[in-house]
Amino acid sequence: MKNLISMRDLTREETLRILELAQEIEGGKTRPDLSGRLAALLFYEPSTRTHFSFDTAMKRLGGQTLSMSGSGSTSVQKGESLADTLKTISMYSDLIVIRSPVEGAARYAAEVVDIPIINAGDGANQHPTQALLDLYSIRKTQGTLEGLSVALVGDLKFGRTAHSLVQALAGFRPTFTFVSPEHLVMPQYILEDLDAAGVTYHHQTTLDGVTPGLDVMYVTRIQRERFADPEEYEQVKDSYVIDREILSDAKPTLRVMHPLPRVKEVSTEVDGTEHAYYFQQARNGVPIRQALLALLLGAAS
């Protein structure tokens, strides 16, 4: 494993090794030493949350960071190619974390530089560290990844975190319920992958009856920009709000997850319940990223 660009690059064994190492780090069983190591955090598309999470991961293992945030990299303004910028930064640092609005940017980065690259989100394409922390959160709360009943709610067409999670769980005999408006359903290519893998799933447009027997409810934001008709958005928005009532017939072990930021998809009245897990989920991003940084920098194996 030289880079982390896409979940599809990881074997099942590599994925499980990352989760295990994250658990060892979180539990204090191992503490990879990144002192003297320098990671460049290049956020061409700002993201306080993901930026802070990587920054925390490095610094809590003794490492240091170089940070760039903003669409206007000064070198880009001067007409420099992305390849040149990355090659230069690879002269200063030991690893590059890159977030870009451009799909494929991280893969390209891995081709032009010699140091490890972590994809922290490339447009609508991949955000593999989010998928890994989602898996980690599921395993931590359910005790296993095998045979779980998982609902995905919200924008399933454009939501990259939903796509990555479905792909990542597919090998663990899940049962999926997809809850979304008709025009925001899970893309056909993902459904075909699930069919090929023999995964059970079904789709519904409302939250009716989704809760009983469910282990994980994974909620994503529905963005206004996805609707041509603002009125339709207003209707739809209110139909996919998770509140206490919807959770009234849930198993005690059901956990509600959300990649954050949330707007109103999960009512704040859920925050105080045993089902709420989104903030701990965010916290889980730190050991996952620590595990990845340690593996890619050769400080763990």
Binding positions for its own copies, rule: CB under 8 A: 36, 38, 40, 46-49, 52-53, 55-56, 59-60, 64, 66-68, 73-75, 78-80, 83-85, 87-89, 91-93, 221, 260-263, 268, 279-280, 282-283, 286
Catalytic residue (one of 15, 50, 85, 177): 50
Q: Of 244, 242, 224, which Cα lies nearest the Cα of 234?
A: 224
Name the residue nearer to its own copies (CB basis): 197 or 263: 263
End-to-end CA distance of the chain: 10
Residue type at position 4: L
Q: How far is the CB of 188 from its own copies (least distance, A)?
A: 28
In 180-297 the beta strands, taken as DSSP E runs, fall at 200-204, 216-219, 255-257
CB of 186 to its own copies, least distance (A): 23
Question: Is 50 a catalytic site residue?
Answer: yes
Q: Which is nearer to its own copies, 60 or 173 (CB)?
A: 60
Distance CA 209, CA 60 (A): 43
Cβ nearer to its own copies, comparing 39 with 207: 39
Output 39 or 194, the one with its CB closest to its own copies: 39
- Which backbone phi and psi does 175 adopt, to 5 degrees? -115, 120
- State which residue, 89 or 300, has the beta carbon closest to its own copies: 89
Catalytic-residue membership of 78? yes
Across the beta sheet with 38-43, the strand order is: 64-69, 38-43, 95-100, 117-122
Number of Cβ within 10 Å of residue 16's Cβ equals 14
Shortest spacing between CB 283 and its own copies, in angstroms: 4
Q: Rounded to the nearest whole angstrom, what is the least distance from the CB of residue 209 to its own copies in the complex?
A: 29
Q: Is 127 a catalytic residue?
A: yes
Identity of the amino acid at 200: T
Nearest approach, Cβ of 60 to its own copies (angstroms)? 7
E-strand stretches of 70-226:
95-100, 117-122, 149-153, 175-179, 200-204, 216-219
Point out the residues that are catalytic.
49-50, 78, 99, 127
